[in-house]
Chains A and B, each alone.
Chain A
């Protein structure tokens, strides 16, 4: 199930993970100082908004529902676009993300869950911190042969994973270009890079991390899911439907998480749109009877 990493490799990875976590934080600080100094413009709003949708849909509809859970099938170019879009969130290559996530489901809130906030050895706060971001620095990895074997055989996924830093770079370059196109100035490009790039990566990373920490700790549990997963509706929009996490743990292969009118599920809306356009099909969803059977 778990593979130990060699010390040298672990060291390199930890440095990479530390940079991937710290640089966006630095970006947020610089961005806040700049707003205080020279005020805001539409560049920040537009580049952040556009890129947030790209990486948010890429993570929740792509990495999570399509690649980890096979909740729906899609055309190859749509799969390629989703894999690249998710990679821009700087949460690691899709192969790595999926292996961790499938193990999370297999062992949810048990001792082998990569990121459960409920570990008896840790206190409550330390558990939350571990589930949020600390787990990334752990010394072991889920076996890809066991948890991502289908994706290792998928040349598209392997190619996107191998070049994952290209896509991260593209996710920084695109908003910079957009900022430049909007203003024709270097300052516009810089603010696009800052807001559509670094601030957006920070928000994308930590909304995913909140699903792992908060959505296994506080919120409603409408379904018996055999773990501590919860629905946190307040986070539904920023997580693109990912925070309806108790719905998801009860029915992991569902393509759409909205089981009530109060469940806002942007990824589900997007996947339904793909289906209407003929670009996605075989959308899985539990029947009303299945939902009733599992409700608490």
Chain B
């Protein structure tokens, strides 16, 4: 699937979810602000996986600043992976949880 096809697919899928015509979806807006909740993001990731036929990290929807950036990364295997590594996510969480213990 090339970038244009994936972009069209993405517009259609997001459009269905948030009940907006595909052409009015702003792919340069942060994905998070489109208003998907955690379960919808997980479902959308599963749909992307099915469409591409390979595993996609559910955090991808948060790791890339916009849908455009995510699509670019999904189309280009050479593109850098998710913004944060597992170790970085762990470190971030450890900081969040530890702050409470020291408070």
A residues bordering B, Cβ < 8 Å?
3-6, 8-9, 13, 69-70, 93, 95-96, 99, 102, 105-106, 141, 143-146, 148-150, 152-153, 158, 161-162, 225-226, 251-253, 286
Contact = CB atoms under 8 A, between A and B. Distances in A.
Query: Top 9 A-B pairs ranked by shortest CB distance?
Result: A145-B62, A144-B38, A6-B35, A152-B58, A252-B100, A152-B59, A95-B38, A150-B93, A141-B37
B40 A152 contact: no
Contacts of A251: 101
A93 B59 contact: no
Contact of A95 (B19, B42, B84): B42
Contacts of A143: 32, 62
Contacts, number: 88
Contact of A162 (B39, B61, B92, B93): B39
Contacts of A13: 37
A102 B89 CA distance: 15
A161 B35 contact: no
A70 B97 contact: yes
Contact of A96 (B18, B39, B90, B93): B39
Interface of B: 18-19, 32-33, 35, 37-43, 46, 57-59, 61-62, 84, 86, 89-90, 92-93, 96-98, 100-101, 103
Contacts of A95: 38-39, 42
Given A106-B96, A153-B59, A251-B101, A9 B35 contact: yes
Contacts of A153: 57-59, 86, 89
B78 to A, nearest CB: 22
A48 B34 CA distance: 42
Given A149-B59, A226-B103, A253-B101, A158 B37 contact: no
B92 A152 contact: no
Given A3-B35, A152-B58, A162-B43, 16 more contacts: A6-B18, A95-B42, A96-B37, A96-B38, A99-B38, A143-B32, A144-B41, A144-B62, A149-B59, A152-B38, A153-B59, A161-B39, A162-B39, A162-B42, A253-B98, A253-B100
